[in-house]
Structure 1
Amino acid sequence: MFAEGSSPPPQDTDALPIVSIKAPVNSNGSQPQARKRKRAPATPSSPAPSDPGSNAGGTTTDLLASRADLSSRAILTISRGPVFIPTAEGSEWYKTDAIGVNRIGFRYMPAGINPQGFATPCRTIESNPTTFRVSWEDRSPYLKVTKDGLSIAGSKGFRSARCNAPIREGRWYMEVKVLHGGGEHVADEARREGSHVRLGWGRREAPLNGPVGLDGYSYGYRDKTGDKVNLSRPRPYGRQFGSGDVIGMYISLPPRREANKKDPHDPAHIKRERIPIDLKGQEVFEILEYPQSKEMTALMDYSGKVTSSASVPSSSKKSANGKLPERSGPVTTGKANTVPLRPLPTLSNSRIAFFVNGECQGIAFQDLYDYRQLRQSNTQRKAKEKKRTREGVKEHRENPFDDGTLGYHPFISLFNDASVRLNPGPTFDFPPPPDIEALLDGNAEAGVDTKPSTWRPMCDRYAEFMAEQWALDAQEEEEAKVEAVKQAAIDKAEEEKRIQRNKKRQQAEARKRAKKAAVEPGFNGPFLDDERFLAGFNPNQPSPSPLRHATSAYDAEGSVENEHSPAPTFASYGDFQGNQSGYNSEAHDVEMDQDNLEEPGNIHPAIS
Structure 2
Amino acid sequence: MSREKRTKKDSLKKRESKATVGGGGGGGGLDSSRATPDPKQRRDVPAGEAAPMRYTLARPKPSDFEQSRAPVFMSHHEVEDLDGKTIEFFETSEHVFNKKNYHYTHCIADPAFPSMFFYRQTEPEPYGAHMSFEDTASHIFFDKAGSHVTSYKGFRMARANVAVREGRWYWECKITRGILKKRGADDPESHGHVRVGWARREASLDAPVGFDAYSYGIRDVAGQKVHMSRPKDFFPPGEDLREGDVIGLEIQLPSESLHRKVVLGQYNPAVDLLDEGADHGAEASNIIRDRIPIRFKSHIYFEESDYHTVKELEDLMNPSPMSSSGSHGSPEKPNPNHPVPALRTLPNSHVKVYKNGVLMGTAWTGLLAFLPPASKKPPQPTQPAGRDCPDDGSLGYYPAVSVFRVLESSSLNGQPMEAGDTEMKDAGSNGVGDEGGSGSEQPKTIPRNEARPVSDRYADQIVEDIVFDIVDEVGFWIEDGCKVVDRSYKDEKAGEVAGLVAGGAREEIKELVQDD
Q: TM-score range with shorter-chain normalisation? A: 0.5 to 0.7
* 1:23 alignment counterpart: none
Find the aligned partners of 2:387 and 2:206 in 1 and give their Cα distance.
Answer: 22
* 1:275 alignment counterpart: 292
SS at match of 1:104: coil
Is 1:157 the counterpart of 2:154? The answer is: yes
Once the two structures are superposed, residues 507-557 of structure 1 have per-residue CA deviations (whole angstroms, 9 ceiling, x without a partner) of xxxxxxxxxxxxxxxxxxxxxxxxxxxxxxxxxxxxxxxxxxxxxxxxxxx
**Unaligned segments of structure 1, at least 5 residues:** 1-44, 46-62, 313-329, 331-339, 436-445, 492-608
Is 1:231 the counterpart of 2:228? The answer is: yes
Is 1:248 the counterpart of 2:251? The answer is: no
* 2:371 alignment counterpart: 372
Is 1:83 the counterpart of 2:72? The answer is: yes
Is 1:362 the counterpart of 2:361? The answer is: yes
CA contact (8 A) 2:433 2:448 kept: no
Q: Which amino acid aligns with 2:343?
A: L
Q: CA deviation at 1:447?
A: 5.5
SS at match of 1:93: strand
* 2:23 alignment counterpart: none
CA contact (8 A) 2:107 2:122 kept: yes
Q: Which structure features the higher share of helix residues?
A: 1
Q: CA deviation at 1:73?
A: 3.2
* 2:198 alignment counterpart: 201
- The partner residue of 1:104 within 95, 100, 110 is 100
CA contact (8 A) 1:85 1:95 kept: yes
Is 1:461 the counterpart of 2:457? The answer is: yes
Find the aligned partners of 1:465 and 1:152 in 2 and give their Cα distance.
Answer: 23
Q: 1:410 to 1:342 in 2, by over 3 A?
A: closer
SS at match of 1:130: coil
Q: Which amino acid aligns with 1:402?
A: D
Q: Which amino acid aligns with 2:397?
A: Y
Once the two structures are superposed, residues 558-595 of structure 1 have per-residue CA deviations (whole angstroms, 9 ceiling, x without a partner) of xxxxxxxxxxxxxxxxxxxxxxxxxxxxxxxxxxxxxx
SS at match of 1:112: strand
Q: 1:408 to 1:153 in 2, by over 3 A?
A: same
Q: CA deviation at 1:301?
A: 0.7
Find the aligned partners of 2:284 and 2:340 in 1 and give their Cα distance.
Answer: 17
CA contact (8 A) 2:254 2:348 kept: yes
Q: Which amino acid aligns with 1:161?
A: A
Q: 1:432 to 1:361 in 2, by over 3 A?
A: farther
Once the two structures are superposed, residues 459-515 of structure 1 have per-residue CA deviations (whole angstroms, 9 ceiling, x without a partner) of 1110001111111001001011112228999x9xxxxxxxxxxxxxxxxxxxxxxxx
* 2:122 alignment counterpart: 125
Is 1:477 the counterpart of 2:477? The answer is: no
* 1:344 alignment counterpart: 343
Find the structure with the greater CA-based Rg: 1
Find the aligned partners of 1:173 and 1:404 in 2 and give their Cα distance.
Answer: 20
Q: Which amino acid aligns with 1:415?
A: F
* 1:215 alignment counterpart: 212
CA contact (8 A) 1:267 1:375 kept: no
SS at match of 2:174: strand
Q: CA deviation at 1:311?
A: 3.7
Once the two structures are superposed, residues 49-93 of structure 1 have per-residue CA deviations (whole angstroms, 9 ceiling, x without a partner) of xxxxxxxxxxxxxx955343x1533413x4123111111489711
CA contact (8 A) 1:295 1:342 kept: no
* 2:309 alignment counterpart: 292
* Equivalent residue runs for 1:169-188 within 5 Å: 169-182=166-179
* 1:424 alignment counterpart: 426
**Unaligned segments of structure 2, at least 5 residues:** 1-39, 41-53, 79-85, 265-282, 322-327, 406-418, 437-442, 488-516
Q: Which aligned runs of 4 or more in structure 1 are off by greater than 6 angstroms?
A: 183-187, 189-193, 486-489
SS at match of 1:472: helix
* 1:308 alignment counterpart: 331
Find the aligned partners of 2:303 and 2:187 in 1 and give their Cα distance.
Answer: 40
Find the aligned partners of 1:301 and 1:114 in 2 and give their Cα distance.
Answer: 49
CA contact (8 A) 2:113 2:120 kept: no
Q: 1:343 to 1:452 in 2, by over 3 A?
A: closer
Q: 1:251 to 1:342 in 2, by over 3 A?
A: closer
Is 1:353 the counterpart of 2:352? The answer is: yes
Find the aligned partners of 1:151 and 1:182 in 2 and give their Cα distance.
Answer: 17
* Equivalent residue runs for 1:4-153 within 5 Å: 66-68=57-59, 70-76=60-66, 78-88=67-77, 92-115=88-111, 118-121=114-117, 122-153=119-150
Q: CA deviation at 1:306?
A: 3.2
Find the aligned partners of 2:127 and 2:205 in 1 and give their Cα distance.
Answer: 23
Q: CA deviation at 1:242?
A: 1.2
Find the aligned partners of 2:300 and 2:477 in 1 and give their Cα distance.
Answer: 22
Q: Which structure features the higher share of strand residues?
A: 2
Q: CA deviation at 1:419?
A: 0.7
CA contact (8 A) 2:141 2:151 kept: yes
Find the aligned partners of 1:193 and 1:272 in 2 and give their Cα distance.
Answer: 44
* 2:392 alignment counterpart: 403
- Amino-acid identity (%): 31
* Equivalent residue runs for 1:504-583 within 5 Å: none
* 1:523 alignment counterpart: none
Find the aligned partners of 1:465 and 1:185 in 2 and give their Cα distance.
Answer: 41
* 1:521 alignment counterpart: none
SS at match of 2:470: helix
CA contact (8 A) 2:342 2:368 kept: no
Q: CA deviation at 1:365?
A: 0.4
Q: Which amino acid aligns with 2:209?
A: V
CA contact (8 A) 2:176 2:243 kept: yes
